[in-house]
Amino acid sequence: MMEFRIADTFTDSLAKLTGEEQKAVKMTAFDLQLNPANPGMQLHKLDAARDPRFWSVRVTRDIRLIVHRTEASLLLCYVAHHDEAYRWAERRKLETHPKTGAAQLVEIRETIQEVITQRHVEAARTAAPRPSLFARYSDDELLSYGVPAEWMNDVRHADEDTVLELADHLPREAAEALLELATGGRPQIPQPAAKGTNPFDHPDAQRRFRMMADAEELERALNYPWEKWMIFLHPTQRQLVEREYNGPARVAGSAGTGKTIVALHRSAFLARNNRQARVLLTTFSDTLSNALRTKLRRLLHHEPRLGDNIEVYSINTIGRRLYEPRFGAPQIAPGAVIQSLLTEAAKEKETEGHKFNNSFLRKEWDEVVDAWQLDSWEAYRDVRRLGKKTRLPEQQRIALWSIFDRVRSRLNEQGLITYSGMFNRLAANIAERNDSPFNFVVVDEAQDVSIAQLRFLSALGAGQPNGLFFAGDLGQRIFQAPFSWKALGVDVRGRSSTLHINYRTSHQIRVQADRLLGAQMSDVDGNTEERRNTISVFNGPSPTIRVLNSISDEEKTVGAWLSDRGKEGVKPEEIGVFVRSEAELDRARKAVEVAGLQFKILDENVETTTGYTSISTMDLTKGLEFRAVVVMACDDEIIPSQERIETVPDEADLEEVYNTERHLLYVACTRARDYLLVTSAKPASEFLDDLRM
């Protein structure tokens, strides 16, 4: 039987066609899969192509599908309008790499020689010659990374000015390795394929070529051509997905490195290999759990029964669902009630004379007393206040505990419970009864999990091989104060991995956004995330940072920028405009109106709409991706939030506020794929100086 495959270059090109054109391509692809020798197919051998096995298939009067055809296989390579499709085929060939044994679609060097040469000439005109980046590596080493032999000379002469342009013309594994070498890393050399191995079975080949076993699998790939993650996984991602762990494990990585993709595939892998098991895929908000559910449904389109064994909920939602049959429906105390009880208790005669303001009391309650579920004076006295720089002598703690103890008593009297209390009680009950309803727990956006939530998750996956799997980025922590996971029995040391390849954000945007964060980040337990070696796999325009004289000037500038993106083919739904808080939404609205675009202000459901530009506050942008992003109103006193700064009880705690505000801006900027504009009205946020560094 003929092997039928698709290439990632095909799905990329399919996504660029109109809806009607895509339908026609899909029908042709299905017909080819059913009968590649169908006499009704209009196949034309490409005489001008260097690879004699490239053929053109007529889809419509103007659309052509490029296939690579042998007696034993058919590979869908590219689809486009007639002339563009032919040009693509004439500049490429399919070959087996002589060193790694992986199948590669290689650009023929002579066909783009003018492009590379011109770059060298331009660089020579503008500056003194730069040192070659790869001169010290032997040919054998460079070949081991998958560099095509005919590109070796260009690689040897590549410098800082030309390496990004060169990387665009190389197979993905070679480009990634060279960029990592250029940034000081040392990429792992892939294992060469054994003699006689099918070149398409090599791990590097499987990230770009996928066998389509049946029509259902092909349908899934064609229905979501822009969702390449469903079909093509990087070898490192696949290793993390399929690895056996003897304890809690965590995968880290900066924005856009595919942590959520690993979490989704890990959930499917566990369900597929443990057919009687129950898997929980969870995250910190309903917004993100809805997005995960949609992606999982697409991933398991051809395996719907597998999805029955995977439950997708936010942590709070699954907590409530499990709590109710055990203890009855939880009556969660609203934040306003907590604040009122704290204020009342602080004013009572027995507690008067203290010098703590409402902001300090609320923060101490949320991040210490309630978070750790402290139920006695001794527990409060002895608790380690990790991350708290404000030191409290014992006399002050006595005064504070008298306030907090009153709040606890009144919550009990009113039959109210906090989420931390709910999770604490639930975790203890599950541990005591040893009756976790799940065999495996996979947690996305784990950096924003709370103390009580982690205690609950630990109880769900306790003591089970592969029981707990976390995905998260310390650089995106915006909702939780840091705390020790190890103190709660969740020790990921030795089972932590960091992803370094950014698939979502261009090199230029990633480099600029990374300036907001340190090159290395560590958690309370000493686990380190190294960010310096992260690389992006594609290039784009440099981000623009503008500080305008007035809010009105900013609105006009943003409106003009949005209009320019539209002229370049960016669709309204591919644009996101973000601000720090609801107070700045009106500025975003007016700027979008200047561009004449329809818009939708996203709520907690975070559902984008075709034909509408999305406007959102920064805290709702997690999990989103747009071709073009504007981050507006980055004024002084807006970010970092002056309101938050003024409520900090002690100057020593300012660092945490500044860190999370930086993380917010980082998250917003890294939602952009190709275009990023960051603006403010004078005076600008100090963070913009960091972005420019």
Among 182, 213, 248, give the residue marking a domain's end.
182
- Percent composition of the chain: helix, strand, coil (DSSP 3-state, to 5): 45, 15, 35
Residues 111 and 145 in one domain: yes
- What is the largest distance, in Å, between two alpha-carbon atoms of the chain? 94
Residues 300 and 163 in one domain: no
Q: Is 297 inside any structural domain? A: yes
Pairwise CA distance, residues 524 & 537, whole Å:
32
Residues 512 and 583 in one domain: no
Residues 311 and 447 in one domain: yes
Q: Is 226 inside any structural domain? A: no
Q: Which CATH number fits the domain that encloses residue 59?
A: 3.30.2310.20
Residues 296 and 258 in one domain: yes
- Could you check whether the bond before residue 541 is cis, i.e. omega within 30 degrees of 0? no
Residues 403 and 551 in one domain: no
Expressed in angstroms, the distance from the first to the final Cα of the chain is 58
Q: What is the pLDDT of residue 689?
A: 93
* Identity at 190, one-letter amino acid code: P
For residue range 307-363, list pLDDT tens digits in order. Answer: 999 999 999 999 999 999 999 999 999 999 999 999 999 988 776 767 788 888 998
Tally of structural domains, the chain: 5
Q: Is 427 inside any structural domain? A: no
Residues 560 and 606 in one domain: yes
Q: What is the pLDDT of residue 535?
A: 85
Pairwise CA distance, residues 335 & 342, whole Å:
11
| 589, 555 contact by CB (below 8 A) | no
Q: Which CATH number fits the domain that encloses residue 549?
A: 3.40.50.300
What is the phi/psi pair of residue 78, to 5°? Answer: -165, 155
| 386, 484 contact by CB (below 8 A) | yes
Residues 560 and 676 in one domain: yes
Residues 277 and 288 in one domain: yes
Q: Is 488 inside any structural domain? A: yes
Pairwise CA distance, residues 191 & 651, whole Å:
53
Residues 438 and 482 in one domain: yes
Q: Is 532 inside any structural domain? A: no
Q: What is the pLDDT of residue 222?
A: 77
250 forms bridges with which residues in the sheet? 470, 496
Among 516, 531, 557, give the residue marking a domain's end.
516
Name the residue range of residue 353's domain: 337-416
Rg (CA), the chain: 28
Residues 610 and 686 in one domain: yes
Q: What angle do CA 687, 639, 690 make, to 5 degrees?
A: 5
Q: What is the DSSP string of 419-467?
A: HHHHHHHHHHHHHHHT--S-SEEEESSGGG--HHHHHHHHHHTTT-TT-
Tokens describing residue 260: 């959520």
Tokens describing residue 472: 């998260």
Q: Is 274 inside any structural domain? A: yes
* Residue ranges of the chain whose pLDDT lies below 50: 115, 117-125
Residues 397 and 504 in one domain: no
Q: What is the pLDDT of residue 120?
A: 46
For residue range 602-645, list pLDDT tens digits in order. Answer: 987 777 888 999 999 998 888 888 999 999 999 999 999 998 88
